[in-house]
Amino acid sequence: MAETHVVEIPRRSGEGEKSPQETLFTAMQHHPLTEISASPGHLLLLKLWQREEGLIASRIGSKEAQLDAVKREAFQLCSLLFFFYGLFLTLLFVSSVGQSEDRRACRGWWVPGCLSLVTSLIVVSTVQLRIWRYWRIYGQLRRERGDGRALARCVQELRMKGRASSWARSHRRPRG
């Protein structure tokens, strides 16, 4: 049979020893969130910041949806241009094949050329506007994300440090 070894760790017994419930209660009294809940100003600040975090998150979601929509619109416009050129060149080829030798001189070449040029300019300028709109929304999204990160850091600091947070120290009013 195998021998088992049991090591006993002696427990200190003394008058200063507290029960686990007392230790837990003492720890909870000194927790930063308990300090915050005891101070109406800090509690209000925490609630306002948490509400603002939710608003920023919803604005970020809205901006991301706008970015997706702008990308989709630009892709559809580019696809439309390629479809137009495919159809345009096919019709031009079909119309030139059915003509006799003397009419193949393409006397009216400027009409389809101008139509193609105008269509290209319209579609390209529209795509360019969509790209500018994309970068404008992207800049707004970056600012919102930065604001959200900064606010999250402030909320985290307030939760972790309680009244000792840098916000509380820098905004205390002198008494007297």
Count of structural domains within the chain: 1
> Is residue 68 assigned to a domain?
yes
Please report the pLDDT score of residue 110 as a whole number.
74
> Is residue 92 assigned to a domain?
yes
Domain that holds residue 133: 37-96+113-161
> Is residue 121 assigned to a domain?
yes
pLDDT tens digits in sequence order for the chain, 176 residues long: 567 766 666 666 555 566 666 665 565 555 556 666 666 677 777 788 889 999 999 999 999 999 999 999 999 999 999 999 898 888 877 777 766 665 555 566 777 788 889 999 999 999 999 999 999 999 999 999 999 999 998 888 877 776 665 555 544 444 44
Please report the pLDDT score of residue 174 as a whole number.
46
> Is residue 155 assigned to a domain?
yes
> Is residue 127 assigned to a domain?
yes
> Is residue 78 assigned to a domain?
yes
Please report the pLDDT score of residue 88 as a whole number.
85
Distance (Å, rounded) from C-alpha 18 to C-alpha 138?
Answer: 57
Please report the pLDDT score of residue 4 as a whole number.
74
Distance (Å, rounded) from C-alpha 18 to C-alpha 124?
Answer: 77
Q: Which residues lie below 8 Å from residue 136, measured CB to CB, with a gap of 6+?
A: none
Please report the pLDDT score of residue 113 as a whole number.
80
Distance (Å, rounded) from C-alpha 59 to C-alpha 142?
Answer: 11
Distance (Å, rounded) from C-alpha 124 to C-alpha 126?
Answer: 5
